[in-house]
Chain A
Amino acid sequence: MSVLTYIESNKGKIKKSAFELVSYSNELAKQLGTELVVLTINVEDTNELNKYGVSKIIKISNSELDNFDSKIFSNVIAQVAKHTNSNHIVISSSLDSKYMAPLLAIELDAGYLSNVVELPSKLNPFTIKRTCFTNKAFCESTIESDIKIIGLSGNAFGAIENETNSSSENLEVSLLDRKITVKSTEKVSGKISIADADIVVSGGRGLKGPENWNIIEDLAETLGAATSCSKPVSDMGWRPHSEHVGQTGKPVATNLYIAIGISGAIQHLAGINSSKIKVVINNDPEAPFFKAADYGVVGDAFDVVPRLNAKLKAFKAQNS
């Protein structure tokens, strides 16, 4: 009856999002009066998890699992869920986890809800809050099946530190044949991805052209932030499509979202609204973004952003 959570890793290192996932799952297990089991795949050192109240870890090590495959991974997690007799499975909102979740749901005949933002408000019927209409609304939803899969939104819950000791079990699983071959993988190296970032610096059409993006990139570098952009900016080819955020682009649920030269169209706001703190820098005091932001600066980006960057650098130097 335990709660099972699968945490992702990158080249053997646990992803930062895992700590939030584990914290949430721990609270869920408490609410259900059961224990949490954490599943890792190809992670050598799981010590970091002890800080977040994990007491039981199942480790799978198999080099065939170095490359993600949604079918094979969902089948592995289903095997583990059966082994641990888990009725509640918690996964992240990474692209890989969202890819895998529906396949896992079929394997386990489970109900799956994505974009969950809270612990269940009721256990019977199992009722939980998720976002819908691309962050324009919330929905209280029930999962009616015995086995339940919860896809937790990033930065919805936060990580809770709670030092424990953990025991781990190594588990052998059987693997399905690979039907989809990965021919190549291309990662933007040295850059933090929008999904992993605590801070995102975003530029819009107000920046006038791709040649001006250095002010966005410099600010992002100072803050250790990812960069993103509005839709027309990627449509015009100023920035790659992978940076397009909003209703038809990537969702952003970060701690701090800084919008520079972005007007704040409803489709843009829908995608970034679940970010905790929003800052807008725009020279038009009437720009709709000012109605959606926590902090705003009315000013010319080309003047404000480099000065802000210099001051932030000084601030960082002082506070590190």
Chain B
Amino acid sequence: MRILVCISHVPDTTSKINFTDDNKVFDNQGVQFVINPNDEFGLTRAMWFKEKQNATVDVINVGSSNTEPTLRKTLAIGADKAIRIDAEPIDGFFVAKQISEYLSSNQYDLIIAGRESIDYNGGMVPGLIAGLSKINFVTNCTSIEIDNKSAILEREIDGGKEILNCDLPLIIGGQKGLVEESDLRIPNMRGIMQARQKPLEVLSPFSSDFKTNSVKFHKPAPRKEVKLISPDNLEELIDLLHNEAKVL
């Protein structure tokens, strides 16, 4: 079985978000970049398939050379090969198109992406790849088992979950549940050494248009001070929620 994991390189969850250049560009000064958390759950599940079912695991990223430390980290965790398509990701469609073009000349049985990246939160790349490459697609995926050419998956739905069955090839949008938090791996010294020897292929981008564009950013207006209510006067809280906030 051949698995491809899509890796998005995103600001660490504790990052302070700022913009420069007249609020047109994300300010990466002092920001630490990590593997997108949803993708990391997927990568870790892919490692399980590698160890238990003999899968090969490649990872792919559409991005500039800045993303290479993140790709090296996936190799240190255990991926076999990394592919970087050398282009600034303009929008979700552009990224999906690049990966879909790559897939048209490289066969995989399972493609694992995250349900969304925590920077732009588009939540569309895996679905767009599925549409472009005409393969089965399950997002909000919290569990996957593969038997031969068929997959059993669990998908989170509003207010519950469902169990699905479909054939490979398949692309999933993964999230926590694929593996648990405690299963995530920190690369060890041996992994880091091995990663240096593993292939990291850089490909030129395929020609593609884009459909949306992020023009300008701004941060939410600063909040008013919190109104503190004494624990001995909870009627006041109810009154404020009812008459001032009008949410009761």
A contact set with B: CB distance below 8 Å: 70-71, 94-96, 98-103, 105-107, 110-115, 127, 131-145, 179-188, 191-193, 195-196, 198-199, 223, 231, 235, 241-242, 244, 247-249, 255-256, 266-267, 270, 273, 276-277, 279-280, 290-300, 303-304, 307-308, 311-312, 315, 319
The segment out of B47-55, B73-81, B113-121, B197-205 that lies at the interface is B113-121
- Shortest distance in angstroms between A288's beta carbon and chain B's nearest beta carbon? 11
Contact of A290 among B19, B211, B226 (CB under 8 A): B226
- Shortest distance in angstroms between A296's beta carbon and chain B's nearest beta carbon? 5
- In the complex, the 9 A-B pairs of residues with the closest C-beta atoms, listed nearest first: A102-B127, A106-B131, A111-B211, A193-B159, A299-B231, A187-B160, A102-B124, A256-B247, A180-B166
B165 within 8 A of A: yes
Residue of B nearest to A274 (CB): B220
B contact set with A: CB distance below 8 Å: 11, 13-14, 17, 19, 37-38, 91-93, 96, 118-128, 130-132, 136-140, 142, 152, 156-167, 175-177, 180-182, 209-220, 223-224, 226-231, 234-235, 237-238, 240-242, 245, 247-248
Contacts A101-B124, A267-B13; is A242 near B160 (CB within 8 Å)? yes
Contact assessment for A139 and B163 in the assembled complex, using a CB-CB cutoff below 8 Å: no
Contact assessment for B247 and A255 in the assembled complex, using a CB-CB cutoff below 8 Å: yes
Contact assessment for A180 and B164 in the assembled complex, using a CB-CB cutoff below 8 Å: yes
- Shortest distance in angstroms between B88's beta carbon and chain A's nearest beta carbon? 16
Contacts A102-B131, A137-B217, A311-B235; is A296 near B226 (CB within 8 Å)? yes
CA distance A299 to B224 in the complex (A): 21
Contact of A247 among B118, B127, B211 (CB under 8 A): B118
Contacts A102-B131, A138-B220; is A298 near B231 (CB within 8 Å)? yes
What A residues does B242 contact at CB under 8 A? 315, 319
Contact assessment for A95 and B140 in the assembled complex, using a CB-CB cutoff below 8 Å: yes
- Shortest distance in angstroms between A252's beta carbon and chain B's nearest beta carbon? 13
- Shortest distance in angstroms between B54's beta carbon and chain A's nearest beta carbon? 26
Contact of A99 among B37, B127, B181, B213 (CB under 8 A): B127
Contacts A185-B157, A266-B13; is A143 near B241 (CB within 8 Å)? no
Contact assessment for A293 and B226 in the assembled complex, using a CB-CB cutoff below 8 Å: yes
Residue of A nearest to B96 (CB): A102
CA distance A267 to B165 in the complex (A): 33
What A residues does B159 contact at CB under 8 A? 187-188, 191-193, 195-196
Contact assessment for B212 and A144 in the assembled complex, using a CB-CB cutoff below 8 Å: yes
Interface of B is mostly: mixed
Contacts A96-B158, A187-B159, A270-B13; is A132 near B217 (CB within 8 Å)? yes
What A residues does B224 contact at CB under 8 A? 294
Residue of B nearest to A130 (CB): B121
Contacts A103-B127, A138-B218, A199-B247; is A70 near B137 (CB within 8 Å)? yes
CA distance A64 to B19 in the complex (A): 48
CA distance A231 to B120 in the complex (A): 21
Interface of A is mostly: mixed
Contact assessment for B93 and A105 in the assembled complex, using a CB-CB cutoff below 8 Å: yes
- Shortest distance in angstroms between B29's beta carbon and chain A's nearest beta carbon? 15
What A residues does B214 contact at CB under 8 A? 132, 139-141
Contact assessment for B136 and A99 in the assembled complex, using a CB-CB cutoff below 8 Å: no
Contact assessment for A127 and B215 in the assembled complex, using a CB-CB cutoff below 8 Å: yes
CA distance A180 to B170 in the complex (A): 10
What B residues does A103 contact at CB under 8 A? 127, 130-131, 137
Contact assessment for A143 and B157 in the assembled complex, using a CB-CB cutoff below 8 Å: no
CA distance A195 to B96 in the complex (A): 28
Contacts A138-B220, A139-B217; is A247 near B163 (CB within 8 Å)? no
What A residues does B167 contact at CB under 8 A? 179
Contact assessment for B37 and A248 in the assembled complex, using a CB-CB cutoff below 8 Å: yes
CA distance A292 to B128 in the complex (A): 35
CA distance A155 to B149 in the complex (A): 42
Residue of B nearest to A129 (CB): B218
Q: List 17 A-B contacts (CB under 8 A).
A: A95-B157, A95-B158, A98-B123, A102-B126, A132-B120, A133-B119, A133-B121, A139-B216, A140-B216, A141-B213, A144-B210, A144-B212, A188-B160, A195-B159, A297-B230, A307-B231, A315-B242
- Shortest distance in angstroms between A214's beta carbon and chain B's nearest beta carbon? 19
Contact of A136 among B92, B130, B137, B219 (CB under 8 A): B219
Not counting A103-B131, A279-B241, a sample of 6 additional A-B residue pairs whose C-beta atoms are within 8 angstroms of each other reads: A99-B139, A137-B220, A179-B166, A185-B157, A276-B247, A304-B231
